[in-house]
A and B are shown apart, each in its own frame.
Chain A
Amino acid sequence: MPPSIDASNSSTALLCYHCGEDVPAGVSLPIDIGGESRPMCCPGCRAVAGLIADSGLGNFYLQRTAFNERPVQAESAALEQYRIYDDAEVAASFTDTATDGSLSASLLLGGITCAACTWLIEQSLSRLPGVTRALVNLQQSRLDIQFDPTQLLLSEIFAQVEALGYRPRPFQASIQRQQMAEEYRTELRRLAVAGLGMMQVGMFAIALHAGDIQGIDSRYQGLLRSVSLLVASFIVFYSARPFFSTAWRHLKRGALVMDLPVALAIGLAWLASAWATFTGTGQVYFDSVVMFTFFLLLGRFLEHRVRQRHSLTWFDAESTLPGAVTVWRAEQWVMAPRIQLQPGDTILVKAGDTIPVDAEILDGNSAVQEDTFNGEHLPRAVTTHDTIYAGTTNIDGALQARVLGDYRDSRLAALQRSVELAQTEKPQLAMLADRIASWFVAGILLVSAITAVTWSQIAPDQAFWVTLSVLVISCPCALALATPAALTSAASALRATGVIVRGENALDSLSRATHLLFDKTGTLTEGTLAIVQVRPLAELSAREILSIGAGLQHFSTHPVARTFASIRGASGLTSVDYRVGAGLEAQKDGTSYRMGSEQFCRQLAPELPEAPNDDLYWIALCKEDYPLAWIGLNDRTREGAGAVVSSARKAGLLLELLTGDSSPQGPLLAGKLGIDTVNRGLSPQQKMAHVQELQASGAIVAMVGDGLNDAPVLSLADASFAVAGATDLARTQADFVIVGGDLQAVTSTWRKARQCRRIILQNFAWALGYNICAIPLAAMGFVPPWAAAVGMSLSSLLVVANSLRLNGSPT
């Protein structure tokens, strides 16, 4: 297999075989899977793909239906972190010991994208020695594993799952999650009963309808009617119950919702038919009643399922914190569970680790990356007596710190509380269907009243039955199906283009959005620094400069160093020394080299000129007495950001940039892209306040964001997007999750939402039009029960067929 050579084929858009993202230029990490060389975008993907291929599970790639998520950088400390779960006491909350000594554990898995993932995990785990059963539930992203604890440690299972590129966490049973699972089963039970009952009643109905046409002995008619009544009653009381309870609940508060006409139609048609059965007069509509119930339950069930499949409600901010920490106990450093920390304990946070609690530094110098709170990727330098916050990352050097309080007192917990607050404060926009419903109910009642009065003048003995047939014919089946059918169809179309729909009213709200708000770092930009410019100060080519720079940076964990990760570093660098907050120094061929801040490099090369005066992040490179170059870094604008902004402008949306960054980068980027308003230096709470202000003035706000700090505002906005690479907390709060890296999905989703709204309106127009034609006929007494059933089915089918048009390509 010829290894691909750097520049030749990586310049074209090559997609990573594992995660489907672009392979960055200059990266060549091909791997052999299924007899072919496959491109990989990063060492993380390569490690995962290598493991999958080596364990003979390469077929996974042929069977999956969606790309995998890009694994987070493999951390050597991972296994170490999971060690704490080997402690039975810590693991007790999610494990269970059986009588035969085997242990069963439940793990939550992040990053499962399709059914093939469950197969991969099950296959891979069931080969570990001691595993007797491994089952992954796709719907809940849950792994249930049973194993022999004498042969296998729980931490090894965690590590194996992580090695496959998924994010394992202990599965903590939450009330919300249990409720969701229980609701799902309840809905399914109702649907199943309605489906089976519908077949029975339908069978009797055919006999009854035939009897209406060609004549039937009243004995048999009575029999068929009573068995229909029996089955239909069961369905009305068991399956259709939620319609009645929802309608009643809203009615008590004075709100008219779509469920009200539904409940009225089912209830009245059932009552009238029951009356007809007992008295042996009039007509029965049992088939319409059960069919209506079944169609509607099916529509709603499918709509819920398409959204719930990707719900991540299990995630909260606390789960970003490490489970195990290094703490000073009894004169030595020991690993202990984070939850056992006491205020006043001394902890050790190594470079690269997430800080587990709010703490005050006792000893050490470092830099912490606080993108959790401000969304920025450039770190803040910290030293003794500074406070560091839970959820941020320690970048440079090891820190010893004194614990200030437990999780509940931390700044991260405050952020989580803001998220929860935002959820309750999110304004509920009335759904289109519910607004139409109130008019519909009023209209139907009016028409029925007129019919009753008119017929009581013409033929009093028929007035009751004709009025009833008006109520049954007006059955809002198509009307009630109009929304769920269109939403389901739009959501699955969006899923195919890499956008997951999670929010309930999200598509409706998005289609009516007036404002589109963006976060800056990580949303409009890629969120990682990239080398933009090299200004040589000596007789060296840019290539040579970068190669020396990369050679030095490969020894660092600073965010700047990552920009050099894909460049082949110069060899022969020795005695590399890292100075916190300054830069790197090394020896090569007997000369010292330095790279880093201006001041640090000037000590070595006093002739170093001032940094170029523009808005890049500049770092200097020099050797003894001899400046070599200024290298300019910047956060690159995401591909497609310009296109999104300009098409949103054209569509008449008001654009704003909300950023936690207070530097001039915000206005600069806004100017470049053409965003009207910039609000910079905002804390998560200030972002929320700003959105609330807009909403109070009547705006419908759509928000695009990615970071933990965006989570509260995403939750508050009427419609929100989490972009690729967003933090888990942002994803749980967003209505739409963009899976691929393409920011243009924002506009295509917006277009789909508009299209979906058009389809819903068409559905309504059809359903109302049908009623307007059918009701006068019914009012004149021309519609027999079989015609009512056929009419209802046909109009519902038409609504579904119209909604399916949303599955087509975007307009």
Chain B
Amino acid sequence: MDSLYLLIPIALVFCAIAIKLLLWAINNGQYDDLDKEAWRILADDNPIPPATPEDKQEQQPESTER
């Protein structure tokens, strides 16, 4: 049971990393538009593209300028 003294701090470190990542994503604006992203993942990507095959479907995550 002494391993707890090692494992619990490790768990806390992981938790801290997860929180850090999440906060980074929020500050980065990735959660600013929950409705749209929720819908977009279900939407058809290719709406019968008439002309441009190299259509820039994938947008980079919006970088916020502040």
On A, residues with C-beta under 8 Å from B are: 55-60, 63, 65, 96, 114-116, 118-119, 122-123, 126-127, 132-133, 135-140, 144, 181, 184-185, 188-189, 192-193, 196-197, 199-200, 203-204, 217, 220, 223-224, 227, 230-231, 305, 309
Contacts and interface: CB of A to CB of B under 8 A. Distances in A.
Given A126-B56, A220-B1, A196 B33 contact: no
Contacts of B12: 200, 227, 230-231
Contacts of B51: 127
Contacts of B8: 204, 223-224, 227
20 contacts: A56-B47, A56-B48, A96-B65, A114-B39, A115-B35, A115-B43, A116-B43, A133-B56, A137-B62, A139-B32, A139-B35, A144-B62, A192-B19, A196-B15, A196-B18, A196-B19, A204-B8, A224-B8, A227-B12, A230-B12
B9 to A, nearest CB: 8
Contacts of A63: 43-44
Q: Find the residue from B5, B32, B60, B65 having the highest chain A CB count within 10 A.
A: B32
Given A56-B49, A231-B12, A136 B36 contact: yes
A132 B48 CA distance: 20
A305 B32 contact: no
Contacts of A114: 39
Q: Find the residue from A185, A199, A224, A230 having the highest chain B CB count within 10 A.
A: A185
Nearest to A122: B59
B29 to A, nearest CB: 8
A184 B32 contact: yes
Contacts of A193: 19, 22-23
A194 to B, nearest CB: 10
A192 B36 contact: no
Contact of A123 (B11, B31, B47): B47
Nearest to B62: A135
B55 A126 contact: yes
Interface in B26-66: 26-27, 31-36, 38-40, 43-44, 47-52, 55-56, 59-60, 62, 65
Contacts of A58: 47-48
A58 B44 CA distance: 12
A763 B30 CA distance: 35
B36 A138 contact: yes
Nearest to B52: A127
B33 A138 contact: yes
Given A122-B59, A200-B11, 13 more contacts: A56-B48, A58-B48, A63-B44, A115-B43, A139-B36, A140-B33, A181-B32, A185-B26, A189-B23, A189-B27, A192-B26, A224-B8, A309-B35
Contacts of B52: 127
B47 A137 contact: no
